[in-house]
Amino acid sequence: MEKVIDAPPQQVFDVLADGWTYSDWVVGTVHVRDVDAQWPRVGTRLHHRAGPWPFSLEDASTVLVCEPPHRLVLRAGLWPAGEAIVVFTLTPEGDGATRVRIGEDFAAGPLRWFRTRLNDLVLHQRNRETLRRLADIATRQKADERAER
């Protein structure tokens, strides 16, 4: 899944690097409980709650790779359902825009074994909305910066 966002890579990466905003743009994350001080340094964690109350699950996502402003790889936990590896790739596109690709694959737990076309469709739609929300935040920051000038 990919989307071109009307903001430069660093500006988009700055949103990824602000762990406290994840519940604003990651579909399914309903609350960020804590963010390690050095986020998104490799090995740091973002502690979150996902899913609707009273069925929400608490877990954490861990940074596996951080290459600002081009790549961020997370291991997103959602136990007992499992965990996924999520890869964000940011590529400059045209004049001040960024092509953002998100790849997500189940890496462990029951979700890994129950992969179906329906799961893939739901994941595709979820990631489409996640990228739309990420774009809204990144472009709003760009507009705010222009207004300050």
Whole-number Å distance between alpha carbons of 63 and 41: 7
The 10 Å Cβ neighbour count of residue 46 is 25
Distance of CA 64 to the CA centre of its chain: 13
CATH of range 2-148; options 1.20.210.10, 3.10.180.10, 3.30.530.20, 2.60.40.10: 3.30.530.20
Residue 118 has pLDDT above 60, yes or no: no
User: DSSP alpha helices (H): ranges in the chain?
Assistant: 9-16, 22-25, 110-113, 117-148
DSSP code per residue over 91-110? EEETTTEEEEEEEEEEEESH
Domain locations in the chain as residue ranges: 2-148
pLDDT tens digits, one per residue of 88-100: 999 999 889 999 9
What average pLDDT does range 38-47 have in this prediction?
97
pLDDT tens digits, one per residue of 53-84: 777 788 899 999 999 999 999 998 875 667 88
